Chains A and B, each alone.
Chain A
């Protein structure tokens, strides 16, 4: 296979094929990525923890299986960046929070377990907004990650560390979680493919909970096919998660390879355009819609009148579930404990620990959720938000009677400068405007790059939405757009990213 001499630039599919064919070893691939992390991650700051020895041991095991003539799984030997919200028995799990700094979980998440079983090499744990609450990684207690297209911009969030790692070729694959857009939004602003599978399609066991009725693990990759391969590797029923679906995994890999949209009915969401959208985002989005039409898709405009209420409903439902889920951080059984001087009561220790251990956004959401759930306000806020959730699911149901998929921009703007929205929570929340409806209704959605905004040269994402358990459709459309745009451009979009200083001594300089 001739995919160039720099192994880290290969797609995951190319890496896996080369490992299976014996053209490159899993150890060589892993070493190439660990070397690059050591050189480049001082600029990007994607990783909170790099598990060099464990990664090399996992790679050696893959190479040994191949040497013994055993069959390898489709992604065996491919290095991956895992969001630090999944438990790992051999690495700390912090969720980007001081309250869990150094916590060593006693068990592996189902996602972690399935990655290991597939022979995927976990390089380490990636940075994130604290407990997955945010759209920029600026809410991490350990400092922000940087966008490989422009290091002064955010990589999106909350799965920004995984996105930055994959976009900077520090890992071939990334795993994130999407509660309101936390996979698709970083994918869009880093020029990657990001997928929120159907809720319940990928297990939440060992995923430290933020909003249990919304949290969905999924892939962050450089190509649609890589996302499909990773989607298949992690999906399927898990008896440890009571909301896990008893259904076959949709044929996402086949769909990514087919990439055929002839005759497909595509609906453009009328509500997601206009004020608040960057002109370059709309330009590239409209071009992508025209492209789909030229590939044989039948495009119509579809109104989803309640989508405008998705953001307010989300900022009641997610904080409500968060205020309940984060009650477990009580300073008693694990994590940080402060002020235990023998005199203070458990309640005082708890309040002091939580005040010092949580960051501002987590505190805001816990209090907002506590407010929305309190008697006297429950019906007016949490109850109404749950009704809006029904209306949004109804909008999707009506739309999917007319069309096979819906499309919109993934985000209203491209990557914004680090610091710009840090003190304005409402401005930060708007980053997830277009992605939230799918979390509320549970259906599948994918973001695929559709070009660069002319005004700032930063990537724009096209969001494709499909009904519950029709995940294959978003891959089919995503692969068609990726293929046609790649042909037009002559190379993958990500090759134009130039924010990272590749000079040999750049890392050493920045590290001093």
Chain B
């Protein structure tokens, strides 16, 4: 067993996924199989092998420091679930008391 149902519930919470009990049951079994399979990377990745983060490595991509166009507020807000006075309107971000 590589992962427990409780651990999956914790991952769901970290991932901001409000999963049902049924989903947690199903995902726990599936993730256990998947994690056991992907753990094979540990067989060959010995210490000292450098990691690769990108297929083709770049460092410090610069551009000329000139003004360019960008989206206006109207365009940026056009698809918002809720907007008010030129701002995104969001649910409360602090809990009661």
Contact = CB atoms under 8 A, between A and B. Distances in A.
A313 B41 contact: yes
B18 A245 contact: no
A442 interface: yes
Contact of B81 (A315, A340, A345, A389): A340
Given A358-B17, A371-B31, A388 B82 contact: no
A458 B92 CA distance: 55
Contacts of B7: 371
Nearest to B54: A213
A36 B81 CA distance: 37
A384 interface: yes
Contacts of B15: 323, 354, 363, 366-367, 370
Nearest to A440: B55
Given A334-B80, A345-B91, A355 B75 contact: no
A437 to B, nearest CB: 11
A106 B41 contact: no
B50 to A, nearest CB: 6
A131 interface: no
B45 A388 contact: yes
Majority secondary structure of chain A interface residues (helix, strand, loop or mixed):
helix
Contact of B41 (A330, A344, A351, A385): A385
A283 interface: no
Interface size bracket, B side: 35 or more
A117 interface: no
A242 B11 CA distance: 31
The CB with the most chain A CB atoms within 10 A, among B12, B16, B61, is that of: B16
B71 to A, nearest CB: 6
Given A346-B91, A364-B31, A390 B51 contact: yes
Given A312-B40, A351-B18, A364-B34, 4 more contacts: A345-B92, A358-B17, A363-B17, A366-B15
A239 interface: yes
A200 B56 contact: yes
Contact of B49 (A354, A390, A426): A390
A242 B61 contact: yes
A120 interface: no
Nearest to A390: B52
Interface string A432-468: 0000000111110000000000000000000000001
Contacts of A390: 49-52
B52 A393 contact: yes
B67 interface: no
Contacts of B75: 106
Interface residues of A, number: 73
A104 B79 contact: yes
Nearest to B47: A387
B78 A199 contact: no
B43 interface: yes
Interface string B15-56: 111111001001100110111011111111110011111111
B28 to A, nearest CB: 10
A327 B45 CA distance: 29
B55 A332 contact: no
A441 to B, nearest CB: 6
A329 to B, nearest CB: 9
A13 interface: no
A38 to B, nearest CB: 29
15 contacts: A103-B79, A105-B79, A107-B71, A213-B55, A243-B58, A323-B15, A333-B79, A345-B91, A346-B91, A346-B92, A354-B18, A367-B31, A381-B41, A386-B51, A387-B52
A348 B26 CA distance: 23
A347 interface: yes
A387 B50 contact: yes
